[in-house]
Amino acid sequence: MLDCSGYTRMVYGYHMGVPMAAKADTSGDRIPRRSRDMADHTPGVLIDRTDGTLPPAANDLQPGDLVLFNADSGDDGEPTGTVDHAGIYLGRDAAGKRRFLSSRKTGNGPTMADLAGPSLLDGAGLYASSLHTVRRI
């Protein structure tokens, strides 16, 4: 089973050839191992970020963008305010909703299913309201 950061690293690293860090790495040259480090230290371009009060509008999303969340599920042992989930933006579905793919504990691996909250960046759901950072790798 892959956690969310492991899954995104597999896609960007193995399939796109982006270097991956084996341990903590804040150089910005490699994809960090942990989702909380990805917001600031992933190679590529910062597209949008929360201002600390509201999720970013992320109006310029493109399929393949790295989406990072502060979902504060309370099970990661990290302080509130840190990124704790990562996914890959897929684009709009048939209903025009912005969808992402990620790996979640409740889904037992990569999923776009709506387990533990819809995989949507629109509306008032968990992931729409906890979007923290968008990066283009």
| pLDDT tens profile 73-130 | 555 555 556 899 999 999 999 999 999 999 876 655 566 665 567 889 998 888 899 9
pLDDT band at 25 (very low <50, low <70, confident <90, very high): confident
Mean pLDDT of the 37-66 span: 92
Q: How far apart are CA 68 and CA 89, in angstroms?
A: 10
The mean of the pLDDT values for the chain is 85
How far apart CA 72 and CA 85 sit, in angstroms, is 9
Structure tokens at 110: 């990569």
What is the structure's pLDDT at 100?
Answer: 94
Over its C-alpha atoms, the chain yields an Rg (Å, rounded) of 14
| Threshold 0.85, pTM exceeds | yes
Ordered by where they begin, the domains of the chain are: 4-136 (3.90.1720)
